[in-house]
Structure 1
């Protein structure tokens, strides 16, 4: 039986699945391979994927897995499977047990624009005490919201807190026309990787700075930012105090968009207590409200769609001056209290 795309999900050209590191078991091969049953068509696909002249290629381990599955699926519909697919597998199989085979790039495309981010699953960053290069659910959802709500950052100076891979900030710069974006993180290894991501994307309006939330010496970063962005920063109760202290130091006319995955009610409620005295609005309270906002380009088969989430993802708008007292019940609604 031919596989089909999930209901409500648009199909993309096959190379886009490849460069977004879409899980090979979830790619709708039967639908996508129909145009590639001839030798000539496969040569064109080879040039657009595994032999594309790019510096930002997927990790080798993913590329080999992609080609192996492609060859299997092609064999179901045609006897003409190009020799170059097999040559690619044979040439690279021996390298699959090296850490380098797990490092490469993941690409996100919206319209004619794309951004590429370093992708490393070798364990190197986890051993250094950070998961900073991972792209978590809240970051993918906030990136989608920024594309749908371009006016939130368009023409403005933006500061991203705890940037990690830089997905959110680079989307603000590359897809949503922010005037200037500063990506920040407190981990030196992550900051180095962020600089590499900025360089690979050739975005002149993006800078990188190391920023520890306990360090008040970089007040200049907060003073120049009209918009603060943050995704998945509230999961650890030991750091949310420092996070909120940093947010409270933003300009009086600034706004912070903070997107959080609510993994445990107790941690979320402790975080809510730190919002006292701020002007807080719940822009998106949960999965149902994300429907129609989240873009398949950012989910990339690696992040649940809203209807499949097993947690709430909440987007807050935070301003420094409270126009009225926080309506605690309204924020509690964001976790179904």
Structure 2
């Protein structure tokens, strides 16, 4: 009996995590739901599932898109009917509510941290909006968050600068779970900065919070060494910033400036998670690193499961070849996520 209850609780938890992150409805563990319904023949499980998804307080505060909730509830009704369970009024009431609701160009995705808390982000429905890809959470941001959560000691007590923060997934996760002293989010596109500031506030972060945070506009092509030194970052993170060959040179120059410190100062930890969509673009980035005197070595992948799918991940440790070895701290990690067809 206790084993069955534990299995049911695990199914409910998994559905909750996937539902709020708006994972593909077809990819949810429906087989487990069917087995549960066939074993119990009771609408009680459906009530519990609704309480952990569409009727959960988080859904009232930060709801997934209307379309997503409609697809989810329609699939749940189909599975319930196939199992021969009695109709459940609250299930059909929930569907009726979203069928008549107006669609929006933006909605919330909420990602569950290992501590059980959620990072909730307002994102655009379209992958590209107002000329930018920065208004949605990309897979590399989830990997970066996972890696950071596996290594919180690397960020504890540090001032962290994030490059290309987008909607804020990686940075907010680090702020919530890794105890940095200060965190500086940055991006360049005005619409992204506006959404980023909104998400930072939604998650209870600000200049008076712990850690203290701020959102800066940072243009890689014009940022000076003096401007970067003024930030005072002793850790730098970025996710999915290697996608445009026209920007890789500026990124490498920026990284070089960040690593240029007096011999009396420790080099910052720099961690970049990059999805390989175009091998030529990634190859060009590595070539630029080589020209700048930055080397790398493969590291380990994160252990946690905030990402979707089972993709291969490499971590590269990059260091200034003209400086002392990585053990002295003059290095940064490059997480590489190949996307296979």
TM-score interval, normalised by the smaller of the two chains? 0.7 to 0.9
2:161 maps to what in 1? 159
Distance in 2 (CA, whole Å) between partners of 1:129 and 1:171 is: 26
Question: Are positions 1:305 and 2:319 aligned together?
Answer: no
2:104 maps to what in 1? 99
Q: How many pairs were matched up?
A: 302
Task: Report the CA distance between 1:220 and its aligned residue.
Answer: 5.0
Distance in 1 (CA, whole Å) between partners of 2:45 and 2:92 is: 16
Contact in 2 for aligned 1:59/1:119 (Cα 8 Å): no
2:237 maps to what in 1? 229
**1:317 and 1:324, CA in 2 relative to 1: closer, same or farther beyond 3 A?**
closer
Question: Are positions 1:243 and 2:258 aligned together?
Answer: no
Contact in 2 for aligned 1:117/1:165 (Cα 8 Å): yes
Task: Report the CA distance between 1:235 and its aligned residue.
Answer: 1.6
Contact in 2 for aligned 1:213/1:243 (Cα 8 Å): yes
Contact in 1 for aligned 2:107/2:122 (Cα 8 Å): yes
**1:185 and 1:78, CA in 2 relative to 1: closer, same or farther beyond 3 A?**
same
User: Gapped runs of 5+ residues in structure 1?
Assistant: 1-9, 326-330
Distance in 2 (CA, whole Å) between partners of 1:21 and 1:37 is: 28
Distance in 1 (CA, whole Å) between partners of 2:186 and 2:118 is: 21
Distance in 1 (CA, whole Å) between partners of 2:74 and 2:151 is: 39
Contact in 2 for aligned 1:222/1:250 (Cα 8 Å): no
What whole-Å deviation, never above 9, does each CA across 1:40-76 have from its counterpart, x for those lacking one? 4443433332222332221121111111111111223
With the length of structure 2 as denominator, give the TM-score of the two structures. Answer: 0.77
Distance in 2 (CA, whole Å) between partners of 1:259 and 1:282 is: 14
Q: Identify the structure with bigger relative contact order (alpha carbons < 8 Å, sequence gap 6+).
A: 1
What whole-Å deviation, never above 9, does each CA across 1:261-308 have from its counterpart, x for those lacking one? 233333223222322454543343xxxx53xx2432x21x3xx313xx
Distance in 1 (CA, whole Å) between partners of 2:119 and 2:156 is: 17
**What is the aligned counterpart of 2:297 among 256, 260, 282?**
282
Task: Report the CA distance between 1:129 and its aligned residue.
Answer: 0.7
- RMSD of aligned Cα (Å): 3.0
Contact in 2 for aligned 1:113/1:175 (Cα 8 Å): no
Question: Are positions 1:208 and 2:178 aligned together?
Answer: no
Contact in 1 for aligned 2:43/2:86 (Cα 8 Å): yes
Contact in 2 for aligned 1:282/1:334 (Cα 8 Å): no
Contact in 1 for aligned 2:275/2:337 (Cα 8 Å): no
2:152 maps to what in 1? 150
**1:39 and 1:261, CA in 2 relative to 1: closer, same or farther beyond 3 A?**
closer
